[in-house]
Amino acid sequence: MDVIGLIKGLTGDRTAAPRTILEIDMARGVLASPPDNPLAALRAINSATLGVLREGLRHAAKDERVVGLVVHVAPSGLGLAETQELAEAIASFGEHKPTIAWAQTYGELGLGLGSYLLAAHCHEVWLQPSGELSISGVHLGITLMRGLLEKGGVEPQFGQRHEYKSAADQFSATEITEANREMTQRLADSIVDDVVATIAKRRGKSVEQVREAVDSSPLSPQQALDAGLIDHIGYRDEVYAHLYQEWNGSRENLKFVTRYDTIAHGKQIAKEALDRKAPIVGVVSLRGPIVTGRGRPAGPAGPQAGGDVIADHLRATCRDDRIKAVVLKIDSPGGSAVASDTIWRAVHQVRESGRPVVAVMSTVAASGGYYAAMGANEIVAQPATLTGSIGVLAGKFVTAGLMDKLALKHEGRSAGRRAQMMASDREFTEDEWHVLNRILDDIYEQFTTKAAADRGMDHADLERLARGRVWTGADAKENGLVDHLGGVSVALDRVCELAGLDRDRAHVRAIPQLGLLDRVRPADSTESQAVGGGLWVPTDPVDALLQRGIAALGLERALAGVTGPLSLPWSITIKA
């Protein structure tokens, strides 16, 4: 049980009553992963985690006391790929019980395609009379920062492999390249194509009818009703009056999915703990930019995935004979090539131990994130996952001009011919450019060679899909870079199939699974299970000042993922 589930299980009436109606209120927030510490869990006590919702709906679908599910669709903080995973869980529940979605609005003078996609996975869709159906599509923007950097006295010097690895363009180009335009346009088209096709299937419409609605939106409630995209127009009280009548229920029977049967689930967890013979599927999570060493659990730009920590967790699965299979959950834009390769090797070690590994991608698993996944037996991704980006970039920002503008005096002394190579107070020499390009070529060759071997492709075929290009999960599946579309549930099904396990009997366990004392107890050796990295502390006052400036300029998200040669070209937030 995660921290939120534990806290929620401490208070209140948790038993399910006959004819229980389950609720999901997305307006309270949905977390893609549990908080990293108890304090964060307290702040998010009214928010559900995606994993708890997924497992709760899975159990509730078989619970005779549960008669249906109502979902308040609202902005929740989930990305589009995560929304797709929740939608799948709701649809799976809907194969057994009725479901209703309602919203005050599906977008308001903005994009609501993702919200409506989730609603379309329910049997009935309601919309408030004052709302709208704004499913206008997807917008992806590209911002080049060269002009701003020049005004600040900063000169970017980057190399890239190859034309689609466009982080270098973001910082050093003055014009959008055709390769960048092509890639970005295809990302947008792929996402909309998949969402339109899914909505059409769920609503019993043709793709052309849904595409017409997309191009005509925003639609008024009546227009949406006439188009067959919603079933009823009404306020919340009318929605609940309807479902109480249809399902023979009352407000006393309402329970959040995360609350409806905590006691019973607690007993089940205790029973599983005593069942020493039951096989275990270990789940290892990789979140945030990939860095060498231990990384950090949190910081100004979120968590980092330390290559040493992820490799530790993967190796730990090989030391437990009850663990028969492993799922590697990835939500990362990549980063360090060395750390990514460390994780890749650990994945292969798990496979060599006889345990199958299935990697499952969330919002993003690109560049180093794909490197970590490609060694798995199979890869699962959502249609809107951003992945691929098999390419390399490296370089530096020359800040001599910025130092002059700020009236800062800097002088360095070096011992060694190339000791100053990455120093920011000077440009690359011709010799240093030669060295940088050699390193980029070596990393790219290693990346593409291993990817081709892992995916069972000829190198030439893989290389055509590489060159730094970012793909959606849907296009990656078509091109053989991933094996299945779906989320964690699909990954668990697949890894159990590969391991010859009964999915309903196998226990799913997060790795490492540590108690409170284990989290503060010093490790005995490098073979001990570890929690993660250390705390983020700015070590230099100038660095701290620059971090504040980056945040003030809104560049923090853009720079957060550039942590090494295998980083995603740019930070993307899909607005749907």
Residue with the bigger pLDDT between 510 and 552: it is 510
Token pair 């609501």 is found at: 112
Note every long-range contact of 427-436, with CB atoms under 8 Å and residues 24 or more positions apart, other chains counting.
427/155, 427/157, 427/398, 428/157, 428/396, 433/159, 436/159, 436/394, 436/395
Least confident of 210-219, 297-306, 352-361: 297-306
Mean pLDDT of the 476-488 span:
98
Amino acid present at 86: L
* DSSP track, 125-144: EEE-TT--B-----B-----
* Residue located via tokens 């001990």: 528
Model pLDDT for residues 457-469, shown as the tens digit of each residue: 999 999 999 999 9
pLDDT-based confidence at residue 155 (cuts at 50, 70, 90): confident
H or E segment to which residue 158 belongs: strand 155-161
Position of tokens 């698993």? 365
pLDDT bucket at 169, cuts 50 / 70 / 90? confident
CA 499 to chain centre: 25
Strand extents, DSSP E, 454-512:
470-472, 484-485, 507-510
Tokens representing residue 354 in the block: 């006889």
Specify the higher pLDDT residue, 200 or 571.
200
Quick check: 548 pLDDT over 60?
A: no
| Helix, strand and coil in the chain, % to nearest 5 | 40, 20, 40
Q: Which are the contacts of 481, defined by CB distance < 8 A and separation ≥ 6? A: 370, 379, 387, 388, 455, 465, 471
In this predicted structure, the answer to whether residue 368 has a pLDDT above a threshold of 90 is yes
The sign of the dihedral angle between the CA atoms of 296, 301, 305, 308 is negative
**In the predicted structure, residue 378 carries a pLDDT above the cut 50:** yes
Residue 151: per-residue pLDDT: 85
Structure pTM?
0.87
Give dist(CA 52, CA 324) in Å, integer: 23
The total of other beta-carbon atoms located within 10 Å of residue 387's CB is 28
**34 pLDDT higher than 80:** no
- The per-residue pLDDT for 187 is 95
Pairing mode, strands 470-472 and 386-388: antiparallel
Model pLDDT, residue 266? 55
pLDDT of residue 532 exceeding 70, the answer is: no
Answer yes or no: are the C-beta atoms of 154 and 553 closer than 8 Å. Answer: no
What is the arithmetic mean of pLDDT over 337-365? 97
Per-residue pLDDT reduced to its tens digit, 330-343? 999 999 999 999 99
> Are the C-beta atoms of 555 and 300 separated by less than 8 Å?
no
Q: Which domains does the chain have, with CATH numbers?
A: 3-136+217-265 (3.90.226.10), 275-567 (3.90.226.10)
| pLDDT reading at 133 higher than 90 | yes
pLDDT at 303: 83
Q: What pLDDT sits at residue 559? A: 47
- Quick one: three-class SS letters along 526-553? CCCCCCCCCCCCCCCHHHHHHHHHHHHC
Say what the pLDDT of residue 538 is: 45
Q: What is the pLDDT of residue 271?
A: 58
pLDDT at residue 562 is higher than 70: no
Is residue 489 within 8 Å of residue 428, measured between CB atoms? no
Could you tell me which residues come within 8 angstroms of residue 368 by beta carbon, excluding any fewer than 6 positions away? 290, 332, 333, 334, 335, 336, 337, 339, 340, 564, 566, 567
What is the three-state SS of 334-385?
Answer: EECHHHHHHHHHHHHHHHHCCCCEEEEEEEEEECHHHHHHCCCCEEEECCCC
